[in-house]
Structure 1
C-alpha cells in the first residue's frame, strides 16, 4: 500500500512521485540534443554546398520536429516544479531561448510546404508558443521564476514576434510559388529557343552555359531561398541573434558576478539532470544561431550602400505580394448561406473588417522588418567602411616587390550575362546582380567537384567500346533466332548488362583483377543507367523490368548469385564454358516452366511487363545464354578468356549506347516541381563534370540514324543493328 501511493499514516507518499523526474530531465536533454544535431547537420551541409542562406532540411517545421521541440522546452512550461538553484533558473531561460532559436533557424522551410501543411504547422507552432508564453508569465507571477525576469520578458517578447513573423512569411509562400512557376516556364522556353537557334554540336563550354542558365533560374526561385532572402527572414535572424546574446549574458553574469544574485537554497526535483539540460540547450542555441545570424549579416552586407556602390536611401514600401493572398481572400464571397439578409450583410462586414485588420497588421510587420533592416545597415555600414579602408591600405603595401595591382592584371575568363535568367520579386531588383555573381561561383563549384570524382573504372571499360561501329554489341547480345519462352517482354538498359555480368562472373579461370575491374565498372555504370531510365521512362512502362535488374544485381554484386544459382560454385563444377552456358540456360528455362504450372501463371497472359521479377530475369538469362551458345563455335566463345572479353565489349557497348542519352537527361528539369528543380539542376552540373572523360569518348561515335526519342530505348538500337546486318 505504501509503495503504491499512501503511506502507513494514510498520507500521500509525495517523495516517491518525484523519483522519476531526473530521468524526465534526461529525456528533455536528449530532445534538446536532437535539435542541436539537426541544426548542426543543416549548418555543415549548407556550408559544404555553399548555400549561405542555409535552407532547412533536418531542422524544418513539421510534426516530428514540433513534437521534439515540445519535449525540449518542457522546463519553460513546468508550472509547479521547484527550481531554486542558479542552474535551474538558467535552464528555464535556455528552454525559452531554444524555442526562439528553432523558429528563427527553421524559417526557410516554410517555402517547401503546401497550403495544408503551412496551415497545420503554423497553428501547431502557434499553440506551442502561446502555451510557453502563458506558462512563463504564470511562473513569473508565482515566483517559480524569481531571477532573470527581464531576460525572460525579452525572450517571451521575441517568441511572440518570431511567431508573428513566421505567420507573415507563410502568407507569401503560395503567392510566390505560383508566380515563380509561371516565370520559370516562360524563361525556360526562352532558353530553349536560344539553344535551338544554334545548330552546332554543343561542347563542354556550351553545355556549361546552358546549365548555368537553368541553375540561375532554379536557384533564384528556390522556395527556401525566396524565404531566406526576404526582409522578414532577415529580421528573424536579428531577433534570433538577440535571443542568443540574452542567454549568453545571463550565463556569464551569473558565473562571473555571482555576488549580484541571491539564489535560493534547496534542490530541484530534476536534480542532476538540470545541468545536462542547460549544457545541451546552450549548445543547441549556439549552433542554431549561426545560420540565422549569417542570413542577417549577408542581407545587411548586400544592402549596404558602400559595399554595393549605390545610394543608401530605402523607400519604406510594402510590395504587392505581401498582402496579395489576404486581398484575394477578402474579394472571395463567403460560402456560408444565410436566409436573413441582415445576417448575410453582417457576416460580410465582419469578414471585411477582419481582413482589413489582417492586411494592416501584415503591412505593419513588413514595415517593421524594413525598419530593422535600415537600423542594421546604419550600424553595420561603419564596420564595412573600416574593412574597405583596411583593404585599400593592404593594396598600397607591396608584397615581395609585386603590387596587388600587378597581380590583379592576370586574365580572367569572361562570364556570360545571365541577369535575364535571375528570378526575383518586386523590390528585389537591386539584388539581381549580386545573385548572378554568387551563382557563377556555385555552378563552377559543383562542376569542379564532379571533375574530381571521375568514374575511372567505367571510363576504362568504355575505352573497349566499338564506337566506330556504332556500339555493335547492342545488337549481338540477343539474337532473334532464339525461340522465346513466351511473349517477348521489352528490354531496359540495365537488365542485359546485369545478365551479361552474371555470365561473366560464372566463367572459370578468369583473372581476379579483371573480374573485380568489371564489377566496379558495372557498379559505376548502373548509376548513370538508373538516372537515364528514371528520367526517360517517366510513364513507368519499364518499371517492373528495371526493378528486376536492381534485384538481380544485388545478388550478383554482394553474393555472386544469380537468383538462387551460385555463380562461383558453378564455375568450379562445370568442365567448360559451353556447360556453364547450358546450365544457366536450363536453370532459367526450368524456372519458367515450373512457374507455368502454378496458379500465378495467369499473369503471363496480362503482358510481359507485368511478369514477376524472377520470371523476367529467367527470360533474359535464357535468351542471352542461348545466343552465346549459338555463337560458341563460330566466334571461339569456348575459350574462357575470349568469351570474357566478348562479354566485356557487349557490356561496354550497351552502357555506351545508353550514355548517349546523358545530355538529354541533364536538361530534363522542366517537369520537376518547384521544390525539386534546384536539386535536379545541381545534379546535372555535377554529372556534367563527373562524365567529362566519358563524353569525350562518346564523341567518337558517328552520327546515329536514330532520332532522340528512339535513342532512349535499347530495342530501337537493336532494330537498327539488325537492319544493318540484314542489309
Structure 2
C-alpha cells in the first residue's frame, strides 16, 4: 500500500510539473515585452536627440507591473529545484532585470498626478519587498547548503541594488509633487513675461517672428517638463551608476560560469529548457535597459565636465535643496487628516507621526546626499577622460564649424538669433543647461517646422491666391432675405463654406476637374478652420453650428450629397443654375418650416438647440436666396461666372478665418501645461510649418484696421464690421 501511495503521489507530481516549461515560456514572453519597451524608449531618445531619455513606452503602471511580476516567477518560487548553473543564472537575471526596470521607471513619475504616484510606487514597493522576502526565506531555509549555492554573492548584491533603487525611486516620488508646484508657478510667471509684447502685435506677426515665438515656448515647455527635471536630478542620474554596476554583475556571473562550467545549458528545474530562453531574454533586456539610465548619468557628468557647466564649491555640490524634503516637512507640521474625537488619541498619533516623519526626512536627506556624492565622484573620475575628448573634438572641428557658420548665415540671412536661454526653467541649485543641450532643443523646433512645410496644403494655397479683399465674408448673406424663424441661428466659419461648396459643385456645365479641385481645396481648408473655431470658441457657444457643418460635409465630400439631394445628378447638363438654386432653396425652406410647425418644445425656440439638419437647411436657404437676388437684378450670371464668384467668395471666407492662425499658434503655446507642454509646443510648430505659405499670402492683405482681435475670431463680427465700413 505504501508503494502504491508513493506511485500515486509521484504520478500526480509529474502531471503538475508537466506544464512548467510552458509557464517558463510565458515568463520569457513577459520579460521580452518589458525589454522591448525599454529598448523603444532608448531608440526614441536617440531619434529625438533627447539624451535624458523620457519614458514614452515603458512607464510605471499596472500593465508593466503585472508583466514584471510574471517575469519574477523564478525568484519567488520557493519549492522549485533550481540549483543547476542555468537555473541560478536565470534567477539572478530576473532580479537584475527588475532593478534595471526600476531605473527606467524613474522619469515616468513626472507624467503622473499625486494619487497615481502614490498607488504605483506602493504597488512597486509591495512587489519588490515580496521578492526580497521570498529570496530571504529561501536562503534561511537552505542555510545548511549555502556552500553549494552557486553565485550566492551575486544574488545578494542583486537584492541590495534592487532595494537601493526602490528607495531612490521613493525619494523621487516625494520630490515630484513639490517640484511640479514650483514649476507651474515659475512657468506662469515666465509665460506672463513672454506674452505681453506678443498679444499687442498678434495681427502683425510674420512667419519668422512666429518661429522665434514657438522656439521660446518650446524651450519653456521642454525644460519645465517634469520628466526632464527628474531625469537631470541627482537621484535619477546616480541610479544610472547602479544600473551600470548591476549589469556588470550579470556579465561577471555569466563569464565566470562559462569559465568554470564551460556551458550555460545545464538545468535541473521543472522549467526544463525554458530557463535557457528566460536567461537569454533577461540578458538582452538588461543590456538594452541599461542604455537609458547609464546615458542619463553620462550626460550629467559630461555637462559637469564641460565648459558650459558652472564651477561650484564642494559645499554647493552637496547642498540639499528644500524641494527634496518640503513635502515631508509639511506633513510633519500639519494636523491629522483622520477625524478622531478623543484628544488623547489625537495627541498620541500626532506625537508618533512627528518622529516617524523626522526619520523619513533623515533618510531622504541621506539618499539625496549619497546621490550627489556619487555624481561628484563620477565627475572627478571622468573629468580627465571627457576633457581629453572635448579638446580632440575642438581641434578636429575648427574648420567644420567655420563652414557651418557660413552656411547658417546664408540660410537664415543673419548670423544671430535672439538669446532664448532666459526662458529656460531651472530648479533651485541647478545651473544653466549646456549650450549644446539648448541647441538641440532649438533645432527640434526647426525640424518639426520642416516636417510641417512638407505637408502644406497645395490646393488650399492655390485657392487662397484668388481671394480679394474679404468681400465674400459680407456678400454670402444679406438682410434682404426673409427669415424663416424669429431667431436666426448664428454662423460659424465652416457652415457657409460647406454650404457654398455644395452649391458650387451642383452647378451645371462645370468641369469635373474644377469641381473636384474646389472640393479638395475646401477640405484642406476646413482642417485649419476647425482648429481656429475650436481654439477661439472658448465657451463652446457655436458647437451645434459646427456639428451641423461637419455632418453636411461628410455627405458632400464622401457621397456628393447635400442631405438627400444628389449634387452630381443636379449638375447634369440641360438644367440652369437658377433652377438648381431654386430647388436647393425650396428643399431647405421646406425642412425648416416643417421643423418649426411640428416642434412645440420651448427649448427649440433657441436656434442653438436645433438639429444639425435644420441648421444646415437654414444656411442653404439664406445663401441660395441671396444668390437668386442677383439673378433678379441687372447682372445675370453664367454657369462658369457663378462658379468663379462662389469660388472667390469661399476664398474670401477662408482667408478671413485663417487670419486668426497666428493667434491660434500663440494660444497653443500659451495653453501649455507642464505635463503636456512639449506635445502642445510640437503641435504649434507643426501648424506653423503647414501654414507657412498661407501666412505669407495673408500678410499681403492685412486684417481690416479697427477690427478687434477677439472679434476677428467670429464670422458674424466680421460681417458686422464690414457692413459698418460700407
| TM bin (shorter chain) | 0.7 to 0.9
- Post-superposition Cα deviations, 1:504-548, rounded to whole Å, max 9, x if no partner, equal 444455444434433332333222222222221121112222233
SS of residue in 1 equivalent to 2:317 = coil
Residue in structure 2 matching 1:181, options 180, 184, 188: 184
Alpha-carbon distance in structure 2 between the residues aligned to 1:106 and 1:216: 24
Residue in structure 2 matching 1:361, options 352, 360, 363: 363
Alpha-carbon distance in structure 2 between the residues aligned to 1:25 and 1:483: 78
CA drift of 1:283 comes to 4.2
Alpha-carbon distance in structure 2 between the residues aligned to 1:362 and 1:596: 70
The equivalent residue for 1:695 is 695
The equivalent residue for 1:329 is 331
Alpha-carbon distance in structure 2 between the residues aligned to 1:284 and 1:485: 70
CA contact (8 A) 1:637 1:643 kept: no
Alpha-carbon distance in structure 1 between the residues aligned to 2:490 and 2:389: 66
The equivalent residue for 1:112 is 111
Alpha-carbon distance in structure 1 between the residues aligned to 2:570 and 2:66: 55
Is 1:349 aligned with 2:351? yes
Comparing 80-89 with 689-698, greater Cα deviation is found at 80-89
The equivalent residue for 2:293 is 292
CA drift of 1:377 comes to 1.6
The equivalent residue for 2:550 is 550
SS of residue in 2 equivalent to 1:171 = helix
Alpha-carbon distance in structure 1 between the residues aligned to 2:646 and 2:40: 45
The equivalent residue for 2:320 is 318
The equivalent residue for 2:461 is 459
The equivalent residue for 1:157 is 160
The equivalent residue for 1:399 is none
CA drift of 1:551 comes to 3.6
The equivalent residue for 1:664 is 663
CA contact (8 A) 2:459 2:524 kept: yes
TM-score by length of 2: 0.87
CA drift of 1:168 comes to 0.8
The change in CA–CA distance for 1:198 and 1:605 in structure 2 (over 3 A counts) is closer
CA drift of 1:716 comes to 1.0
- Post-superposition Cα deviations, 1:463-522, rounded to whole Å, max 9, x if no partner, equal 1111xx2x1112222333333443322222222223333334444554444344333323
The equivalent residue for 1:490 is 490
The change in CA–CA distance for 1:260 and 1:48 in structure 2 (over 3 A counts) is closer
Residue in structure 1 matching 2:174, options 148, 171, 175: 171
CA drift of 1:359 comes to 0.6
CA drift of 1:10 comes to 9.0
SS of residue in 2 equivalent to 1:657 = helix
CA drift of 1:707 comes to 0.6
SS of residue in 1 equivalent to 2:433 = helix
CA drift of 1:715 comes to 1.0
CA drift of 1:295 comes to 1.6
CA contact (8 A) 1:506 1:580 kept: yes
The equivalent residue for 1:234 is 237
CA drift of 1:661 comes to 0.9
The equivalent residue for 1:501 is 501
- Post-superposition Cα deviations, 1:79-108, rounded to whole Å, max 9, x if no partner, equal 334456655444433433332233222321
Alpha-carbon distance in structure 2 between the residues aligned to 1:451 and 1:213: 20
CA contact (8 A) 2:451 2:689 kept: yes
The change in CA–CA distance for 1:31 and 1:262 in structure 2 (over 3 A counts) is closer
Residue in structure 1 matching 2:384, options 382, 407, 414: 382
Question: 5 Å matches for 1:69-468?
Answer: 69-83=68-82, 87-140=86-139, 146-195=149-198, 201-251=204-254, 254=257, 256-257=258-259, 259=261, 266=268, 268-269=270-271, 271=272, 273-304=274-305, 308=309, 310=311, 313=314, 315-336=317-338, 343-394=345-396, 407=403, 410=406, 413-431=415-433, 436-466=438-468
CA contact (8 A) 2:52 2:295 kept: yes
Q: What number of residue pairs does the alignment pair up? A: 708
The equivalent residue for 1:711 is 712
The change in CA–CA distance for 1:525 and 1:339 in structure 2 (over 3 A counts) is closer
Comparing 241-250 with 222-231, greater Cα deviation is found at 241-250
Gaps of 5+ in 1: 1-5, 397-402
CA contact (8 A) 2:426 2:432 kept: no
CA contact (8 A) 1:459 1:693 kept: yes
The change in CA–CA distance for 1:433 and 1:153 in structure 2 (over 3 A counts) is same
Alpha-carbon distance in structure 2 between the residues aligned to 1:300 and 1:37: 27
CA drift of 1:694 comes to 1.1
Comparing 17-26 with 46-55, greater Cα deviation is found at 17-26
CA contact (8 A) 2:25 2:277 kept: yes
CA drift of 1:659 comes to 1.0
Of structures 1 and 2, the one with the larger relative CO (CA 8 A, separation 6+) is: 2
The equivalent residue for 1:61 is 60
Alpha-carbon distance in structure 2 between the residues aligned to 1:201 and 1:347: 63
CA drift of 1:321 comes to 0.9
Alpha-carbon distance in structure 2 between the residues aligned to 1:98 and 1:674: 31
SS of residue in 2 equivalent to 1:454 = coil
CA drift of 1:124 comes to 1.3
CA contact (8 A) 2:405 2:415 kept: no
Alpha-carbon distance in structure 2 between the residues aligned to 1:28 and 1:635: 83
Alpha-carbon distance in structure 2 between the residues aligned to 1:395 and 1:677: 35
Q: CA RMSD in A?
A: 3.6
The change in CA–CA distance for 1:629 and 1:288 in structure 2 (over 3 A counts) is farther
TM-score by length of 1: 0.87
CA drift of 1:47 comes to 3.8
Comparing 607-616 with 13-22, greater Cα deviation is found at 13-22
CA drift of 1:302 comes to 0.8
Alpha-carbon distance in structure 1 between the residues aligned to 2:507 and 2:208: 44
The change in CA–CA distance for 1:638 and 1:312 in structure 2 (over 3 A counts) is same
Comparing 412-421 with 83-92, greater Cα deviation is found at 83-92
Alpha-carbon distance in structure 2 between the residues aligned to 1:227 and 1:334: 30
Alpha-carbon distance in structure 2 between the residues aligned to 1:594 and 1:577: 26
The change in CA–CA distance for 1:63 and 1:479 in structure 2 (over 3 A counts) is farther
Alpha-carbon distance in structure 2 between the residues aligned to 1:327 and 1:583: 76
- Post-superposition Cα deviations, 1:313-342, rounded to whole Å, max 9, x if no partner, equal 553110111111111111112345667665
The equivalent residue for 1:400 is none
Alpha-carbon distance in structure 2 between the residues aligned to 1:378 and 1:473: 70
CA contact (8 A) 1:548 1:614 kept: yes
The equivalent residue for 1:609 is 608
Comparing 340-349 with 219-228, greater Cα deviation is found at 340-349
CA drift of 1:310 comes to 4.0
CA contact (8 A) 2:87 2:267 kept: no
The change in CA–CA distance for 1:235 and 1:31 in structure 2 (over 3 A counts) is same
The change in CA–CA distance for 1:613 and 1:126 in structure 2 (over 3 A counts) is farther
Alpha-carbon distance in structure 2 between the residues aligned to 1:135 and 1:249: 24
CA drift of 1:18 comes to 4.2
Question: 5 Å matches for 1:3-22?
Answer: 13-22=12-21
The equivalent residue for 1:720 is 721
